[in-house]
């Protein structure tokens, strides 16, 4: 638990997922003494996967020490995992951060940068096979809404980042602060990190008998399993 103001830096890149960023940010900015800043490649507008552009607070080169780094997922992660210049930068700033968190396929980027070595982690379930192909010594958990392992936080896909953020606020600030943030957003957060019907939807875990009978894990699955 922190007694001083928390500073969290969100790392933006071309093709980031909007909800991966602004779901958690909505919750974080409802907490007193928490500040959120945004870092982009060169300080100019950064386009999301949805086409919406965000103007960052600073460029990567201007990043200052923060209490936590947040790495979103999105289609742009497919390029970042092979961008050695970016990975080298992320490895350096991530090693200095007391806490590092990712949403969705952001964990693939953390793994590619070596920031999940020796850690337990999870990722987007639709893109799980691809995301978990990175990193050498990562204990990937196929059935988890989010995973907290020491100073690493990783969530499943997209909206799961909001559930992780509620847990992160509870851990770093207080449970009452987490509840207040969720209530402010009128968000009914899942507080159980092991709640993960999407692992079963995408065949990463067996469906329970009741779920199989009710069809609870089908959700009308369709389309190309491109993930995020």
**pLDDT per position as a tens digit, 50-84:** 999 999 999 999 998 888 999 999 999 999 999 99
CATH topology of domain 6-195: Rossmann fold (3.40.50)
Are the C-beta atoms of residues 125 and 196 closer than 8 Å to each other?
yes
Reply yes or no on whether 104 is catalytic: yes
- What is the value of pTM for the model shown? 0.91
The domain ranges of the chain are 6-195
**Catalytic choice (8, 12, 104, 189):** 104
Vertex 202: Cα angle to 201 and 206 (nearest 5): 65
As a three-state string, the secondary structure of 191-226 is CCCCCCHHHHHCCCCCCCHHHHHHCCCCCCCCCCCC
* C-alpha span between 153 and 202 (Å, rounded): 22
Tens digit of each residue's pLDDT (9 = 90 or more) over 158-179: 999 999 999 999 999 999 999 9
């Amino acid at each position: 638990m922190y007694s001083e103001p928390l500073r969290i830096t969100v790392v933006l890149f071309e093709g980031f997922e909007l909800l991966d960023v602004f779901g958690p940010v909505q919750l974080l900015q409802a907490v007193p003494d928490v500040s959120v800043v945004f870092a982009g490649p060169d300080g100019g507008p950064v386009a999301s996967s949805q086409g919406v552009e965000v103007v960052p607070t600073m460029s990567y080169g201007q990043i200052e020490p923060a209490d936590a780094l947040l790495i979103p997922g999105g289609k742009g992660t497919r390029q970042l995992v092979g961008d050695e210049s970016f990975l080298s930068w992320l490895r350096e700033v991530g090693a200095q951060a007391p806490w590092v968190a990712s949403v969705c396929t952001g964990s693939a980027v953390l793994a590619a940068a070596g920031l999940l070595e020796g850690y337990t982690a999870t990722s987007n379930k639709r893109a799980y096979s691809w995301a978990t192909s990175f990193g050498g010594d990562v204990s990937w958990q196929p059935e988890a809404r989010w995973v907290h392992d020491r100073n690493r936080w990783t969530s499943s896909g997209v909206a799961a980042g909001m559930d992780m953020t509620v847990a992160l606020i509870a851990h770093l600030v207080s449970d009452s602060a987490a509840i207040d943030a969720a209530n402010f957003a009128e968000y009914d957060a899942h507080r159980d990190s092991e709640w993960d019907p999407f692992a079963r939807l995408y065949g990463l875990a067996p469906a329970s008998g009741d779920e199989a009978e009710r069809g609870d894990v089908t959700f009308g699955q369709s389309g190309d399993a491109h993930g995020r």
